[in-house]
Structure 1
């Protein structure tokens, strides 16, 4: 699943490719991608212009003129790319936004898990999927005090706690493994048992790791590509995720893979000891 760095990279690319383009026609080939009435979705968007593309956590937000926004979640394998009108439609293309300049923005999704929903821009923060989200992982938004207070109420392992987007947004399986490795915290540690210094280190690692991954264009493990259809490069900088059996870059012991909260989890048993 694309995590925050991948979604942010897609957002930045889309801003270069489709900002200020006017939609002439919308074609929905797989209606289940749309939350709500498909006909209303089409009728609302045709004739509108993309004025800005934002992001909240792992959600892309297309802001149009006329006070309408489209909230899009890529889920496991959703992708956006631009084609010329008349180009062959690739397999797994489900939504096509045709612009007045002859180009098209196409949404492609092998698993069909992605979702799109229209909402009035003024009411976007009331959308159920966005309302429950925690802060963005930045120094200005992500408070150590708030993070500490929330962790102290979590009687669950730290790995699933971090996957819960109400603590801080943007972390998925890859980056949770990475920030826990950076912080020397075992993924099975109960969140509320973390000490103050561990929480500070973890907090700072989350901000640093996600920022670094954005600069690298995200991580490509299977099929992720950005809006220009380029792969990310951060997979070459991963210290734990996907490195089962390889030496830990900190101590030399082997990275192990276990299952935590039904998720494949990579860690160093020497550096990240169970408390």
Structure 2
């Protein structure tokens, strides 16, 4: 699933390519992925509008239109948004096509069709529960060690599950949660409320480190993720624990293990991350 770094990379590229272009036509190849409004209402809100810029909140891509409305894309497991300057669709799993006045094509493709698409009038973000109630993101002023400690206080949930809860911290997914916990030396099953101030400090630093590294390396690609240019990322080559079960830890040589935490596959070094 594209996480915050991957969505940020897509956002930055598309912002450069699309800003100022006008949407001339919209082809809905799979209308059921439009969650608000009805498909024809979605088309009506998009066609004729000029793209004012691309933004991101957590794992959501937000296309700002010149009248203050937004087209929202939640890519989920296998969604991708690719700009084709030659106007030719190269995606056999294309679900939505935006024809632009510059002759290019913006293609929303989705192999498993789990993504969700919205067109929102100004002030309507409340319609998307996960977007409206999202917590502060890594690499922002509001995301601090003190925030982690205060939000975690008294909670017995596993720290891995805490990191994945978008209500607490926006944008972290399975890959970067595992990597951050490894760098912080924290076992994923630790009750988050048991973390000391020093551990919250380490976790804060580790989260920011792995998110920044993911952005620097163009994102993480194992199967489906592609950036806005249709290319893969390279961060998978730098991972410490995620998807490395059975391989030696890059720090101590202990075999990386995989377990389940909160229903999610979780990777750790049992030596570096003792309970």
When normalised by structure 1's length, the TM-score is 0.95
Q: Structure 2: give runs of 5+ residues left out of the alignment.
A: none
Runs ≥4 in structure 1, deviation > 4 angstroms? none
- CA drift of 1:244 comes to 0.9
Separation (CA, whole Å) in 2 of partners of 1:126 and 1:79? 22
- CA drift of 1:183 comes to 0.5
Separation (CA, whole Å) in 1 of partners of 2:85 and 2:13? 17
- Asked if structure 2 preserves the Cα contact closer than 8 Å seen for 1:186 and 1:267, the reply is yes
Separation (CA, whole Å) in 2 of partners of 1:110 and 1:81? 14
Q: In structure 2, what is the equivalent of residue 173 of structure 1?
A: 174
Separation (CA, whole Å) in 2 of partners of 1:230 and 1:124? 30
Separation (CA, whole Å) in 1 of partners of 2:164 and 2:269? 19
- Asked if structure 1 preserves the Cα contact closer than 8 Å seen for 2:218 and 2:234, the reply is yes
Please provide the CA RMSD for this pair.
1.5
In 2 relative to 1, CA 253–65 (structure 1 residues): closer, same or farther, beyond 3 Å? Answer: same
Separation (CA, whole Å) in 2 of partners of 1:245 and 1:24? 52
Matched, 1:2 2:2: yes
The secondary structure found in structure 2 opposite 1:135 is: coil
- Asked if structure 1 preserves the Cα contact closer than 8 Å seen for 2:51 and 2:65, the reply is yes
1:195-217 residue CA offsets vs partner (Å, 9 max, x unmatched)? 11111100111112101211111
How do 1:196-275 and structure 2 match up within 5 A? 196-274=197-275
Separation (CA, whole Å) in 2 of partners of 1:191 and 1:8? 27
Q: In structure 1, what is the equivalent of residue 24 of structure 2?
A: 24
- CA drift of 1:152 comes to 1.4
Matched residues, number: 274
Separation (CA, whole Å) in 2 of partners of 1:115 and 1:263? 21
Q: In structure 1, what is the equivalent of residue 155 of structure 2?
A: 154
In 2 relative to 1, CA 240–89 (structure 1 residues): closer, same or farther, beyond 3 Å? Answer: closer
Q: Structure 1: give runs of 5+ residues left out of the alignment.
A: none
Structure 1 window deviating more from structure 2 (125-134 vs 141-150): it is 125-134
The secondary structure found in structure 1 opposite 2:224 is: coil
The secondary structure found in structure 2 opposite 1:170 is: coil
Q: In structure 1, what is the equivalent of residue 93 of structure 2?
A: 92
